[in-house]
């Protein structure tokens, strides 16, 4: 294990932010800490980096107990949400910082920094200052700076949080590819479930300072541990007292076995997908179907239909919780 | 500072060791050393000496203190100082606001130079300030105005050294003032004078008052600029600081301490009322 | 119309209160050319006063710069009980008359005071000597560096320092390489203000120095003493020199002032 967090508790004043948190991060993995804001995920990342001290519990990095080590001695790469670019240093000197602190020879520093700048596509920006870079470029510089010291683990706090939607999507794909190239154990914090599912190979869901579920993206999406995780990871709707994914519901004009009668209240066409809003037993629900399927049925508001969860679909009984 | 404390509230006292490890280890490590050094420095140079002034003034009991403060020359110096400071503060209130207004709302060639010159009284040594005023308004005045050894001369010196306070507190507030508000008022039918009285002035008042209070505290403490132009005439032009100075020269440190204490108390009262006033202003908006 | 009336009123006020008096001194000083000015300032007494002023100012500035940086970091980056009180105490010297400063120091460090007496027995004379003048100057210029640095340090935030820590920098390395460059302009601004105040301090130094000509006489004391002794040219020359320093300070602070 690259990182082992055990029974960590942390409070700010009287407000608990982490409760009995235990997380394992496998070497070479790309792990997302996912959860709503205020769920404790950034604090957990900062505890791993040593920027916050846990009240109780331990943190081991590469098998070594790091709980009382200062951030200076943990050899982690940390990328801050707002990059924490050294404003008075050029891009080159920013990336070289950790190596200069370690007193590496000049030419070695030069070589390594240029390699990294190439890796993050900033080789032409070496002499610029952070204020002359775009948000995405600053993010990549911060990443190169963190990677320069060959950290045991790379920690990213909301790495794409401050970027606009377009750049965000590009950087996600790029981060995935970068990880495939560099293979450094990486943990990143995000509140965006799509980002976590797309980029990570393991997702840790945190809510109210507790680990709610750990698993692969598919696992967490398909077998949510509780309604909260299910709601957080994707769209849900409620039929017959159960939470179901709207694309996991069958809708038919003819009677089907185990079906519940419903009335179509609205049909919304969203490009390829069609959202059919229905009333089931006095409650609003919705079903996601393809355009082709909707055209075939020719649904209109007021039509009587039958709905049921698709065979094999995951559903969570709300009453059970 | 507010964000700092908001992010890291101090641990509850009495928390188990290890539990509050981080904030506590911070305090016992670098913070404690630094804090100790800072407090020692501050104590040796500022706090202990000032405390001793107050202590010395009370040394011989309240009766002695009262007599020291009410000797005719000391009393005259104190009343002159406070009276002149009130007048000077009020003149600053008006003229400082006016100058700030001109610097922000008016445009004319050389405005940048005028803006820089405002700070000159802060940069100029007080004795030089007194000397330059004496050169223009003294016995050899080229203008034929002789204010030397008069109360008007003392006030002139005080006006000189306190000039920047109101200007520099009002100016930034005026700069930040939202033009939308005035336009909104105009669109609702307010004339220029009504806009000034109902929209601009209420927004400036806190800054005007704090500048005035600062000018007042500076004024009652002033020494250097009044030395030459006042001629140091007891009962007529001698201000409190000069009176203290002559008492020190005459080795009457207890008397000097008594008057010093009065000055300190007046200054603190002015500053504390200013602080309360600002908090009250902050609460309102 | 009102606009011009206000402008005229403001400018006339400034002209008669500020500009004319200062200009007159400069004109009087250089009225007979540069020669008398240079001559008055190169007299042994004037040169000695220059030297005393500089010694006292340099010590005071060094002390207050170190204190200022340290206290700013304490106030902005650390939390401790009594923080608000410390913050308030820093501003205290602004509310104290320079003469009271002098008196306060005499009461502690004077020959007949306990601390002063003890130091005297060790051969250290504070009052009527350079250490006392340094103390007085430190006192009056104490808040300037702190007040210049604190807002910039707050603005800077601690993320860059944390980033430096994660990259392996020690506290001291992070301070030298990240914090100090981040506050350099503000620090420069504070140091210039502190230096100007130190060079120009009169009241507090007048009390603790004993005003001993050619011994503890600073430039400001020299101005006063020469004027009282009817040596107007020397007084005016020294005053003009101090005014020039003030103008240079003003321009420097204009240059260094944090722009928003």
Domains of chain C: which residue ranges?
Answer: 32-256
For range A60-71, the mean pLDDT? 93
DSSP secondary structure, B241-262, as one string = HHHHHHHHHTT-HHHHHHHHHH
Q: For residue A156, give the nearest of A188, A121, A184 by alpha carbon.
A: A188
Per the listing, tokens 């100090």 go with C180
pLDDT of C193 over the 50 cut: yes
CA C86 – CA C72 distance, rounded (Å):
11
Using the Cβ of C162 and the Cβ atoms of chain A, whether some distance falls under 8 Å is answered with yes
On whether the CB atoms of residues A98 and C168 are closer than 8 A, the answer is: yes
CATH number of C32-256: 1.10.3720.10
Indicate yes or no: CB of B12 within 8 angstroms of CB of A53. no
Nearest to C67 among B27, B38, B133 (CB): B38
Strand-by-strand arrangement of the A153-157 sheet: A76-79, A153-157, A185-190, A30-34, A202-207, A210-215
Report chain A residues whose CB lies below 8 A from the CB of C167. Answer: 97-98, 101, 145-146, 148-149
Q: For residue C100, give the nearest of A231, A159, B259 by alpha carbon.
A: B259
Task: Give the percent of chain B with pLDDT over 90.
Answer: 65
pLDDT computed for residue C259 by the predictor: 56
In a domain, B2, yes or no: no
- Residue B171 class from Cβ within 10 Å (0-12 exposed, 13-18 middle, 19+ buried)? buried
pLDDT category at A43 given cuts 50, 70, 90 is: very high
Q: Closest chain C residue to B32 measured between Cα atoms?
A: C80
Maximum Cα interatomic distance, chain C, rounded to a whole number of Å: 72
Q: Pick the residue with more confidence: B30 or B221?
A: B221
pLDDT of B131 over the 90 cut: yes
Q: For residue C139, give the nearest of B269, B221, B162 by alpha carbon.
A: B221
DSSP secondary structure, B103-141, as one string = HHH---TTHHHHHHHTTHHHHS-HHHHHHHHHHHHSTT-
In a domain, B255, yes or no: yes
Task: Give the percent of chain A with pLDDT over 70.
Answer: 99
Mean predicted lDDT score pLDDT of chain A: 90
Query: Where do the DSSP E strands lie in chain A?
Result: 3-12, 15-25, 30-34, 56-61, 64-65, 76-79, 153-157, 185-190, 202-207, 210-215, 237-239, 242-244, 249-252, 260-270, 273-280, 283-290, 304-309, 315-317
Q: For residue B77, give the nearest of B222, B268, B215, B214 by alpha carbon.
A: B222
Neighbours of chain B (3+ CB pairs under 8 A): A, C
Q: Closest chain B residue to C82 measured between Cα atoms?
A: B35
pLDDT of A249 over the 50 cut: yes
Indicate yes or no: CB of A55 within 8 angstroms of CB of B9. no
In a domain, B75, yes or no: yes
Q: Please give the residue range of the domain that contains residue B223.
A: 34-284
pLDDT of A163 over the 90 cut: no
Mean predicted lDDT score pLDDT of chain B: 86
pLDDT computed for residue A242 by the predictor: 84
Strand-by-strand arrangement of the A56-61 sheet: A15-25, A3-12, A56-61, A64-65
Per the listing, tokens 């993050």 go with A120
pLDDT of B179 over the 50 cut: yes
Indicate yes or no: CB of C163 within 8 angstroms of CB of A84. yes
Listed by number, the residues of chain C in 163-192 with a beta carbon closer than 8 Å to a beta carbon of chain A are: 163-170, 173, 177-178, 181-182
Phi and psi angles of residue A274, each rounded to the nearest 5 degrees, phi first: -125, 135
pLDDT of B75 over the 90 cut: yes
pLDDT of C260 over the 60 cut: no
CA B47 – CA C86 distance, rounded (Å):
11
List the CATH number of the domain containing B183.
Answer: 1.10.3720.10
On whether the CB atoms of residues C194 and C145 are closer than 8 A, the answer is: yes
Tens of pLDDT, residue by residue over A207-218, are 999 999 999 999
pLDDT computed for residue A296 by the predictor: 87
pLDDT of C183 over the 90 cut: yes
Report chain B residues whose CB lies below 8 A from the CB of C97. Answer: 220-223, 240-241, 244, 260, 263
pLDDT computed for residue B5 by the predictor: 31
pLDDT of B85 over the 90 cut: yes
Cα distance from N-terminal residue to C-terminal residue, chain A: 33
Indicate yes or no: CB of B12 within 8 angstroms of CB of A14. yes
pLDDT computed for residue B24 by the predictor: 39
Indicate yes or no: CB of B7 within 8 angstroms of CB of A52. no
Mutate to test the interface with A, among B9, B15, B23 (most CBs of A within 10 A): B9
CA distance A238 to chain C (A): 44
For range A231-251, the mean pLDDT? 87
Tens of pLDDT, residue by residue over C62-108, are 999 999 999 999 999 998 999 989 998 998 998 899 999 999 999 99
Looking at the DSSP assignment, which residues form a beta bridge with residue A239?
A242
For range C38-47, the mean pLDDT? 92
3-state secondary structure of A185: strand
Q: For residue A115, give the nearest of A90, A147, A155, A157 by alpha carbon.
A: A147
User: How many beta carbons lie within 10 A of that of residue A69, not counting itself?
Assistant: 15
pLDDT of B201 over the 70 cut: yes
A283, B51, C67, C104 from B48: Cα distances, Å: 76, 5, 17, 8
pLDDT computed for residue A161 by the predictor: 80
Beta strands A202-207 and A30-34, pairing class: parallel
pLDDT category at A319 given cuts 50, 70, 90 is: low
Indicate yes or no: CB of A55 within 8 angstroms of CB of B18. yes
Q: For residue B228, what are its two tokens?
A: 């030459």
Nearest to A98 among C167, C178, C182 (CB): C167
Q: Closest chain A residue to B8 measured between Cα atoms?
A: A12
User: Where is C133: in which H helix or E strand?
Assistant: helix C130-156
For range B173-196, the mean pLDDT? 85
For range C188-201, the mean pLDDT? 94
In a domain, B104, yes or no: yes
In a domain, B124, yes or no: yes
For range A68-88, the mean pLDDT? 92
In a domain, B11, yes or no: no
Read off the pTM: 0.84
Q: For residue B197, what are its two tokens?
A: 């009285």
pLDDT category at B159 given cuts 50, 70, 90 is: very high
Using the Cβ of C239 and the Cβ atoms of chain B, whether some distance falls under 8 Å is answered with yes
On whether the CB atoms of residues A3 and A185 are closer than 8 A, the answer is: yes
pLDDT category at A17 given cuts 50, 70, 90 is: very high
Cα B57-B125-B225 angle, rounded to 5 deg:
60
Using the Cβ of C79 and the Cβ atoms of chain A, whether some distance falls under 8 Å is answered with no
In a domain, B1, yes or no: no
| Domain total in chain B | 1
State the helix-helix crossing angle for B240-249 and B72-105, rounded to 10 degrees: 140
Q: Pick the residue with more confidence: B152 or B7?
A: B152
In a domain, B14, yes or no: no
Residue B180 CA from chain centroid, whole number: 33
């Amino acid at each position: 294990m690259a990182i082992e967090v055990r029974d960590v508790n942390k409070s700010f004043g009287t407000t608990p932010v982490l409760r009995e948190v235990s997380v394992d991060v496998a070497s070479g993995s790309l792990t997302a800490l996912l959860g709503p804001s205020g769920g404790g995920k950034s604090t957990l990342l900062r505890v791993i980096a040593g920027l916050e001290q846990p009240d109780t519990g331990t943190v081991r990095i590469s098998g070594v107990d790091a709980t009382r080590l200062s951030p200076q001695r943990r050899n982690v790469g940390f990328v801050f949400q707002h990059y924490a670019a050294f404003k008075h240093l050029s891009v080159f000197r920013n990336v070289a910082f950790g190596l200069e602190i370690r007193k590496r020879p000049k030419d070695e520093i030069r070589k390594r920094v240029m390699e990294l700048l190439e890796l993050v596509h900033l080789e032409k920006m070496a002499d610029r200052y952070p204020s002359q870079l775009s948000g995405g470029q600053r993010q990549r510089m911060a990443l190169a700076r963190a990677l320069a010291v060959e950290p045991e683990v790379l920690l990213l706090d909301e790495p794409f949080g401050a970027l606009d939607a377009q750049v965000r999507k590009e950087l996600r794909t790029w981060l995935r590819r970068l990880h495939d190239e560099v293979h450094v154990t990486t943990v990143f914090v995000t509140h965006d479930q799509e980002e976590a599912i797309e980029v990570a190979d393991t997702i840790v869901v945190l809510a109210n300072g507790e680990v709610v579920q750990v698993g692969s993206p598919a696992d967490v999406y398909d077998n949510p541990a509780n309604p909260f995780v299910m709601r957080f990871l994707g769209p849900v709707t409620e039929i017959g007292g159960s939470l179901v994914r709207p694309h996991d519901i069958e809708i038919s004009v003819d009677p089907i076995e185990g079906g519940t009668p419903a009335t179509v209240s609205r049909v919304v066409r969203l490009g390829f997908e069609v959202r059919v809003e229905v009333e089931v037993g006095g409650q609003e629900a919705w079903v996601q179907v393809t355009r082709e399927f909707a055209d075939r049925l020719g649904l209109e508001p007021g039509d009587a239909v039958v709905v049921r969860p698709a065979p094999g679909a995951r559903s969570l009984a709300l009453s059970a919780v | 500072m507010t964000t700092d404390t908001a992010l890291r509230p101090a641990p509850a006292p009495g928390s188990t060791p290890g539990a509050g490890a981080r904030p506590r280890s911070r305090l016992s490590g670098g913070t404690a050393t630094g804090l100790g050094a800072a407090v020692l420095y501050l104590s040796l140079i500022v706090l202990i000496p000032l405390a001793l002034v107050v202590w010395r003034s009370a040394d011989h009991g309240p009766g002695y203190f009262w007599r020291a403060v009410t000797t005719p020359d000391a009393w005259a110096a104190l009343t002159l100082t406070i009276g002149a400071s009130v007048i000077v503060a009020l003149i600053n209130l008006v003229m400082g606001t006016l100058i700030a207004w001109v610097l922000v709302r008016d445009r004319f060639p050389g405005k940048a130079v005028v803006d820089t010159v405002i700070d000159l009284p802060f940069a100029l040594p007080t004795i030089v300030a007194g000397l330059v005023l004496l050169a223009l308004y003294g016995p050899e005045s080229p203008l034929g105005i002789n204010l030397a050894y008069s109360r008007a001369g003392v006030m002139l010196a005080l006006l000189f050294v306190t000039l920047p306070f109101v200007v520099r507190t009002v100016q930034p507030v005026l700069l930040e003032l939202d033009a939308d508000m005035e336009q909104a008022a105009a669109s609702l039918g307010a004339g220029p004078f009504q806009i000034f009285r109902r929209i601009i002035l209420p927004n400036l008042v806190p800054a005007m008052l704090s500048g005035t209070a600062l000018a007042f505290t500076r004024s009652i403490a002033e020494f250097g600029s009044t030395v030459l132009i006042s001629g140091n005439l007891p009962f007529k032009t001698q201000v409190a600081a000069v009176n203290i100075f002559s008492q020190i020269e005459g080795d009457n440190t207890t008397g000097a301490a008594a008057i010093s204490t009065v000055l300190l108390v007046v200054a603190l009262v002015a500053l504390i009322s200013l602080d309360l006033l600002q908090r009250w202003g902050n609460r309102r908006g | 119309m009102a606009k011009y009336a206000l402008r005229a009123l403001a400018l006339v006020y400034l002209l008669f209160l500020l500009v004319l008096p200062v200009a007159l001194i400069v004109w009087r000083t250089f009225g007979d050319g540069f020669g008398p000015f240079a001559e008055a300032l190169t007299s042994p007494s004037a040169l000695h006063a220059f030297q005393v002023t500089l010694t006292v100012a340099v010590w005071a500035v060094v002390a207050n710069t170190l204190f200022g940086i340290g206290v700013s970091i304490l106030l902005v980056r650390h939390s401790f009980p009594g923080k608000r009180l410390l913050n308030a105490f820093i501003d205290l010297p602004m509310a104290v008359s320079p003469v009271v400063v002098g008196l306060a120091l005499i009461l502690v460090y004077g020959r007949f005071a306990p601390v002063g007496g003890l130091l005297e027995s060790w051969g250290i004379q504070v009052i009527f000597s350079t250490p006392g003048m340094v103390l007085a100057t430190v006192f009056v210029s104490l808040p300037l560096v702190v007040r210049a640095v604190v807002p910039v340090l707050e603005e800077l935030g601690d993320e860059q320092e944390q980033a430096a820590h994660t990259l392996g920098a020690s506290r001291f390395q992070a301070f030298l390489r990240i914090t100090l460059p981040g506050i350099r302009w503000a620090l420069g601004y504070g140091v210039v203000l502190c230096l100007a105040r130190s060079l120009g301090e009169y009241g507090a130094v007048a009390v603790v120095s004993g005003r001993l000509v050619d011994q503890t006489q600073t430039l400001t004391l020299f101005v006063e003493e020469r004027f009282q002794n009817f040596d107007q040219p020397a007084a005016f020359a020294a005053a003009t020199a101090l005014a020039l320093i003030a103008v240079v300070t003003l321009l420097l602070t204009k240059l260094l002032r944090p722009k928003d």
